[in-house]
Every structure is written in structure tokens, then in C-alpha cells.
């Protein structure tokens, strides 16, 4: 069995996907992590396909609208 979303989301910052551009203090790494985990839980509850990585990118997009996300 592979790593869970929680395992992936709790990796160190240097292991997590990074955004292009500058850091915005309004949404910290912790904010992104919490939202990504919430998105993962919702997806699991509803039996939807997806990945923890996509949940992370979706959280970044929601917290930093208009920024280009690396890895998309």
C-alpha cells in the first residue's frame, strides 16, 4: 500500500510542490496543507478519483488565485 495523503501532505516543505513566484504570507504552507487535507477528505468521502498532489495544487490555486502553479 502506498503513502496516504496525510503522509504526503506532512512531508517537509522542500519535498512539497512549489509555486512559481513569490511567497504570500496571507496563505502559509500550513494553510495550504490544511486545505489540501480537507480536499482529500472530501474526495475520499465522496468516492472520487484524484491524488494528494492534485489536492495540494487545488489548495494552492484556491489560496493564491491567479498565480501559475508549477507541475500543472
Which tops the pLDDT comparison, 59 or 66?
Answer: 59
**13's grid cell:** 516543505
Task: Quickly state the pLDDT bin for 40 (edges 50, 70, 90).
Answer: very high
72 domain residue, yes or no: no
Nearest Cα residue to 50 out of 63, 36, 35, 29: 36
Answer whether residue 29 is part of any domain.
Answer: yes
**Stretch 33-47: mean pLDDT:** 96
3-class DSSP string for 18-66 = CECCCCCCCCCHHHHHHHHHHHHHHHHHCCCCCCHHHHHHHHHHHHCCC
Name the pTM for this structure: 0.59
Q: Which domain holds residue 58?
A: 5-63
Give domain status of residue 54, yes or no. Answer: yes
Residue 16: pLDDT band by 50, 70, 90 thresholds?
very low
pLDDT above 60 for 44: yes
Q: What pLDDT, on a 0 to 100 scale, did the predictor assign at position 13?
A: 42
Count of domains in the chain? Answer: 1
Cβ–Cβ under 8 Å, residues 67 and 19: yes
Residues facing 69 on adjacent strands: 19
Amino acid at each position: 500500500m502506498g503513502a496516504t495523503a496525510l503522509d504526503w501532505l506532512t512531508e517537509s516543505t522542500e519535498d512539497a510542490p512549489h509555486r512559481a513566484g513569490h511567497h504570500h504570507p496571507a496563505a502559509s504552507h500550513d494553510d495550504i496543507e490544511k486545505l489540501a487535507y480537507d480536499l482529500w477528505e472530501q474526495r475520499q468521502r465522496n468516492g472520487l478519483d484524484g491524488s494528494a498532489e492534485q489536492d495540494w495544487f487545488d489548495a494552492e490555486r484556491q489560496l493564491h488565485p491567479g498565480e501559475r502553479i508549477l507541475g500543472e
